[in-house]
Amino acid sequence: MDLVNNLKLRSAGVSVSGPQGGAPQVDALARRNVELLASRLSQVDGRWIAAFKDLSLFSLLQPIVSYSHQSTVGVEALLRGEDVHGVTVMPAQLFTEMASSEAELTLLERLSRLLHIASFQPVAEQAGWLFINLSPQLIAQPGDADDLAAALAWAGVPAGRVVIELTEQASYDPQGLVDAVGRYRALGCKIAIDDFGAGHSNFERIWTLLPDIVKLDRNMVLRAANETTIQQMLPGLVNLVHQSGALVLAEGIETVDQAMLISNAGVDMGQGYLFGYPRQELPNQDDLRLQMSNLSVQSQRAWRRDCERRRRLFDNFQHHVQQTVLGLRNGQTLERSARSLLRLSSVRRCFVLNEQGRQIGIVTCDKLANSQSPLAQTRSSDWGRRGYFRKAMEAQDRMHISLPYLSISDGSMCQTLSIYFRTGSGARVLCCDIDPD
Ligand code: G
Ligand code: MN
């Protein structure tokens, strides 16, 4: 029986599994299939090659680095083909043009998976995890987890070293996909969602599959490097993914600036040409460590410069805020007390809250004074749930500064300075909205 027929038997739900000696159990049919697949593999000059139609397939490994470990924690196996003229065929073409039926596509996916496992085996000690791309269609097929288990047993690679990257294609059987993911987890594999932000790699998939790792699509890195809004959104996005219990990996890092931006956003792991091209061999670990350590030094330097700049800004604001408080405590109007504060170009408005967080006075800079927006009318509004109010009430001895947030009064990002003080009528919090730095 040939492999394609064997796969058909499996798809029809026919189980030929028998008892195996020793653990872990490997399904007999799956083992036979893997032996058939393995017969297409050969080693030329130490490199594994698989024969598929007129092509020679081979596997390249691209390093995945951890910012905290400052070293490689895994490799993604990437398929390449070579035709009889020595011309390279990329995966997109291989999977869309070279397989003419569903059964052939399954054969190609399983063959390339076996090739990846064989290519990874000699470097498994240094390489950490092996990331393999698999389509939702393949993994949801009956018996596919058995096939993977047999392939791993054949090569002697533990399932705990395998991360299954679920590609961004649609799944026509969402519950089937959830069940399938459970089967790979039961083997000991980790689950990653590939190309998050593209195609069907979206929040729905995170919520239903609860992956161990989410790989941010390369396009997200590119856009974050070029568009301020996306860059500002990135830490929040990373935080959301972390809250789901998944680590975050960014793909397509090509420049030092992109690597720093990603690291500052809290991303855990990076992959891209900056750290290493897809190659047959792993990159030199000492070089990589040096590169990671340079990145870390540069990022620390930038952070310190930023701290110093922010401290100077803060000191300047603090001086004017204290002058305002002094005026208010002496019974002057808010207009008069906040005059010098409002003259600073980044100050938008100053307002005073009572001890419940209700606004009892406000002055705005000239630019915003004539706004017609209904949201700009904040008389007697309630800011009691805001962090800047609560922090000022909790720690009464100093001025606070909020993180940037979206102001509901004018619909743009701002930061709020806040400080507690007392008047004859009770506790007050003076707040001052400024443009984010
Ligand atoms: O869909 P997936 O993320 O698995 O695609 C991986 C592909 O991305 C591979 O073909 C690989 O060669 C390519 N790739 C890997 N790193 C980079 C990079 O830094 N820049 C670009 N443009 N492509 C990359
Ligand atoms: Mn991938």
Q: For all residues of the chain together, what is the average pLDDT?
A: 90
**Cα of 169 from ligand 1 centre, angstroms:** 17
pLDDT at 26: 83
Q: Is the CB of 78 under 6 A from ligand 1?
A: yes
Q: Is the model's pLDDT at 12 over the cut of 80?
A: no
Instruction: Please write the tens of the pLDDT for every residue from 416-435.
Output: 999 999 999 999 999 999 99
**Cα of 272 from ligand 1 centre, angstroms:** 7
Mean pLDDT within 110-115: 96
Backbone angles phi, psi at 401, to 5 degrees: -135, 130
- Percent of the chain residues past pLDDT 70, beyond the cut: 94
**Cα of 2 from ligand 1 centre, angstroms:** 34
Q: Is the CB of 133 under 6 A from ligand 1?
A: yes
Report the DSSP pairing between strands 41-44 and 47-52.
antiparallel
| DSSP assignment of 79-113 | EEEE-TTS-EE-HHHHHHHS--SHHHHHHHHHHHH
Q: Is the CB of 272 under 6 A from ligand 1?
A: yes
Q: Is the model's pLDDT at 13 over the cut of 80?
A: no
Residue 187: band (very low, low, confident or very high) from pLDDT cuts 50, 70, 90: very high
- Which among 59, 62, 169 is the best mutation to test ligand 1's pocket, defined by most ligand atoms within 8 Å of the CB? 62
List the residue whose alpha carbon is closest to atom 12 of ligand 1: 278
Q: Is the CB of 63 under 6 A from ligand 1?
A: no
- Which among 134, 251, 253, 257 is the best mutation to test ligand 1's pocket, defined by most ligand atoms within 8 Å of the CB? 251
**Cα of 98 from ligand 1 centre, angstroms:** 21
| Closest atom of ligand 1 relative to the 217 alpha carbon | 3
**Cα of 382 from ligand 2 centre, angstroms:** 48
Q: Is the CB of 252 under 6 A from ligand 1?
A: yes
Strands (DSSP E) contained in 143-262 are 162-166, 190-196, 213-216, 247-250
> Distances from the Cα of 55 to the Cαs of 23, 103, 113, 279, in angstroms?
36, 18, 16, 19
List the residue whose alpha carbon is closest to atom 18 of ligand 1: 252
- Collapsing DSSP to helix, strand or coil, 284 comes out as coil
Task: Name which residue leads in pLDDT, 15 or 138.
Answer: 138
pLDDT at 112: 96
**Cα of 228 from ligand 2 centre, angstroms:** 26
Which tokens go with 401? 């500064």
Q: Is the CB of 270 under 6 A from ligand 1?
A: no
Q: DSSP code of 201?
A: -
Task: Name which residue leads in pLDDT, 193 or 17.
Answer: 193
Mean pLDDT within 58-80: 96
| Closest atom of ligand 1 relative to the 195 alpha carbon | 3
Residue 354: band (very low, low, confident or very high) from pLDDT cuts 50, 70, 90: very high
Q: Is the CB of 273 under 6 A from ligand 1?
A: yes
Task: Name which residue leads in pLDDT, 22 or 212.
Answer: 212
pLDDT at 24: 55
Nearest listed ligand to the Cα of residue 192: 2
List the residue whose alpha carbon is closest to atom 20 of ligand 1: 252
> Distances from the Cα of 244 to the Cαs of 187, 215, 220, 271, in angstroms?
22, 14, 19, 22
Which element (helix H / strand E) includes 223?
Answer: helix 218-226
Q: pTM here?
A: 0.87
Mean pLDDT within 362-373: 85
Q: Is the model's pLDDT at 9 over the cut of 70?
A: no
Instruction: Please write the tens of the pLDDT for every residue from 85-104.
Output: 999 999 989 888 888 888 89
Task: Name which residue leads in pLDDT, 253 or 198.
Answer: 253
List the residue whose alpha carbon is closest to atom 13 of ligand 1: 252
pLDDT at 5: 42
Q: Is the model's pLDDT at 17 over the cut of 50?
A: no
Which tokens go with 277? 């091209």
CB pairs under 8 A, 24+ apart, for 390-398? 391/418, 392/418, 392/419, 392/420, 392/429, 392/431, 393/355, 393/420, 393/427, 393/429, 396/420
Q: Is the CB of 251 under 6 A from ligand 1?
A: yes
Instruction: Please write the tens of the pLDDT for every residue from 297-339.
Output: 999 999 999 999 999 999 999 999 999 999 999 999 999 999 9
| Closest atom of ligand 1 relative to the 91 alpha carbon | 10
- Which among 58, 59, 75, 78 is the best mutation to test ligand 1's pocket, defined by most ligand atoms within 8 Å of the CB? 78
Which residue shows structure tokens 């100093």? 398
- Percent of the chain residues past pLDDT 90, beyond the cut: 79
Which tokens go with 115? 């090739």
